[in-house]
Amino acid sequence: MATTAPPSAPSPSRSSARDDADAGYPPSRLAVFFRTYRAERHGTLPAGLVLFILVGSLVLAMFLNASSTFRKSNAKDKGPWRQEIAANVRNVSCALRLTLPHDRIDEARGSPPGCSSGSGTDADARSAEQILADDRAESAKQQDPAAAQTTTSIPNKPQLRKPTPEARLSVWVGGDSVVGSFGPGFQRVSEATKLFNVEVDSRVSSGLTNVNFVNWPLALRDAAKGKRPDIMIVMFGANDAQNMLLNNQALERFSPEWLAEYRKRVGSTMDLLQSPKNDRLVVWLGQPVMSPKSNAVGMDKLNYIYWDEARSRPWVAYFDSWPYFTDDQGNYAQRLPMADGKEQKLRENDGVHLTPQGADRLAWVVFGRLGQYLDLSANLAPPPIGSLPPASVGERAEVPKPPDMPSP
């Protein structure tokens, strides 16, 4: 007697068109995204579905990180079409509030939220030299002619009163994203010592080379006049290793023309921060040594300019942070011993920013350096030995001029 073979079972990974119709799937090519998926092998996905998930994740990440992408596209001037695309993506993300998590992170770091930062460019793109000239002209108009003929001698060092827990000095800390890691460390030191009230203004991807992105000379001048801090601590350079645009001409980074223009910007910025009454100290932090794997190159050249320009300005104190983050051979080191003999991780994995331990290490030595300019005897908290570098580590007597750097 002949037997009839049972019908073959349908593949567990596919469904017939009839099954789709019975399940109510729409009769279109998009139906594949709506029906229940059953893998042929446990734990696997088809390549098409994997690609769809990856592309979707990348698109979502693009919108979630739109503020950062927009900021970086403006910080590095690489063409208007990139800036336009980044601006359109950011506008969509802001409208859908997809940038909210990233904005909260920016606020916690002291940076302005991406959706509230306007076009990403400063309308006032005057140079530090122009701002200084305009301010001096305005002051001359308002000055009493009789007082203008009176000259007074300015002491070599700014005159600051003694800070106490009851009458703290005001400190304003500003600059690029490295300041965003250093600033909280100085705030911790200030709260421990009870001598300073500290405000931090850190702007990611900013510097002195692109005033169209963040006009730091203008921001510094406004902070000095508006907030009237007793001490200003500034740091730039981590984002300045890029070409500069001057009079519609591109200056190649670290060329003699670039270095001359950068030196002029540094000097004019320092001049902007001088207090007419000589009652403000400006501490210009040099950049720490950067990892060879990072994009922050040429810091030795920039630090030499900062140090050299500060030497002729008594109201500016250059602080040499370089030796506090190098090994015995003078090379970059992510981990270094502290004064208590324990090794600490001082630099983030990007080789640029400071860890909280690195920020505290730098903050305590900067605090100690301030003792050369004002009386710190009311300090209520001696520096913890675990946050200090070994006693053998200190600033260099002078910042060496890089051998490949031309004379000004």
Co-location of 169 and 315 in the same domain: yes
Least Cα distance to 255 among 205, 298, 309 occurs for 298
**Whether 172 and 102 share a structural domain:** no
Orientation angle between helical segments 66-75 and 100-108, nearest 10 degrees:
60
Identify whether residues 106 and 168 lie together within a single domain: no
Task: Please tell me whether residues 110 and 208 are part of one structural domain.
Answer: no
Residue with token string 């698109």: 59
Do 185 and 261 lie in one domain? The reply is: yes
CA distance 276 to 290: 36
**What are the per-10-residue average pLDDT scores of the chain (408 residues)?**
54 48 54 57 69 78 61 53 59 65 57 52 76 84 56 70 97 97 98 97 94 94 96 97 91 96 97 95 98 95 98 97 97 98 98 98 98 95 96 97 88
The domain containing residue 75 runs over which residues? 45-116
- Total domains in the chain come to 2
Q: Considering only CA atoms, give the Rg of the chain.
A: 29
CATH label of the domain that carries residue 249: 3.40.50.1110
**Cα distance between the two ends of the chain:** 107
pLDDT on residue 364: 98
pLDDT, residue 114, reads 57
Is 230 in the same domain as 352? yes
Is there a domain that residue 360 lies in?
yes
Q: Are residues 248 and 370 in the same domain?
A: yes
The pLDDT score that the predictor gives to residue 147 is 44
Domain check: are 166 and 75 in the same one?
no
Please name which of 232, 389, 382, 272 lies closest in space to residue 324, comparing C-alpha atoms. 389
| CB-based contact 319:234 (threshold 8 Å) | no
Give the pLDDT confidence score for residue 177 in this predicted structure. 95
Return contacts of 86-94, CB within 8 angstroms, 24+ apart. 87/119, 87/120, 89/62, 89/63, 90/66, 90/114, 90/115, 92/63, 92/66, 93/63, 93/64, 93/66, 93/67, 94/66, 94/67
Q: pTM of the full predicted structure?
A: 0.73
pLDDT value of position 16: 46
- Are 217 and 326 in the same domain? yes
